[in-house]
Amino acid sequence: MYLKEEMNNYLIDLLPAKEAWIEEMEAEAVTDHVPIMDKVSMHFVTQLIRMYQPNRILEVGTAIGYSSLRMLQANPEASIVTIERDEKRYKQALERIRQQGKENNISVILGDALEEIPKLDGMFDLVFIDAAKGQYKRFFELASPMLSTGGVILSDNVLFKGYVAEPEMATGRYKKMVGKIIDYNEWLMQHPHFTTSIVPIGDGVAISVRKP
């Protein structure tokens, strides 16, 4: 966690009670080592959705369908398109979405987002990027032309366990990944067509809004 552990635990303790299916999915993710969005960041994103009320959402990185279902819960009238390249997780997501009776609101695509995003039609009011960290810039570039006026792009894990501030502490496979996230953050902040704020909550959430 990028937040000091004690502070993060405090925020988790403050969160309101959740429905049983949410608790089950969070437990499943821990057991199966599935990287879903952390509880505090997820609560923050759902609050943003309540504020913005996006009608159409694109999610890059479905995993088991946790964030899609949580985002839909924040705006039950939304339509969500979500992309997952891992077939096992894709099937898990379909089952979870079916269990909640949300098949009409959430469409899950099996495939590589780099190939699938260009095939999509229409515009999106919100894009949520939470997939392969090394491809964040490309995901952003592919999705941004589909962003509606006043739309928002959210990028998760942009502080990556705090390593972006201390890249020398990263070891092994994290080293290259941290470098790419640092490059992505700098690129975002200098983007000529977007204004970005990085919120140091959970593992870091970047909020990018297209300039007028």
Residue 198 forms beta bridges with which residues? 206
Instruction: Please state, in angstroms and rounded to a whole number, the distance separating the CA atoms of residues 163 and 83.
Output: 27
Please, what sign has the CA dihedral across residues 161, 162, 164, 167? negative
Instruction: Judge whether 165 is annotated as a binding position.
Output: no
Instruction: Judge whether 125 is annotated as a binding position.
Output: no
Instruction: Please state, in angstroms and rounded to a whole number, the distance separating the CA atoms of residues 1 and 7.
Output: 10
The tally of CA atoms less than 13 A away on the side-chain side of residue 7 is 7
Helix axes 39-52, 66-74, angle to 10 degrees: 40
Instruction: Judge whether 183 is annotated as a binding position.
Output: no
Instruction: Judge whether 32 is annotated as a binding position.
Output: no
Instruction: Judge whether 113 is annotated as a binding position.
Output: yes
Number of continuous H segments (helices) and E segments (strands) in the chain: 8, 7
Instruction: Judge whether 156 is annotated as a binding position.
Output: yes
Instruction: Judge whether 84 is annotated as a binding position.
Output: yes
| Residues flagged as binding site | 37, 67, 84, 112-113, 130, 156-157
| Residues flagged as binding site for S-adenosyl-L-methionine | 37, 67, 84, 112-113, 130
| Residues flagged as binding site for Mg(2+) | 130, 156-157
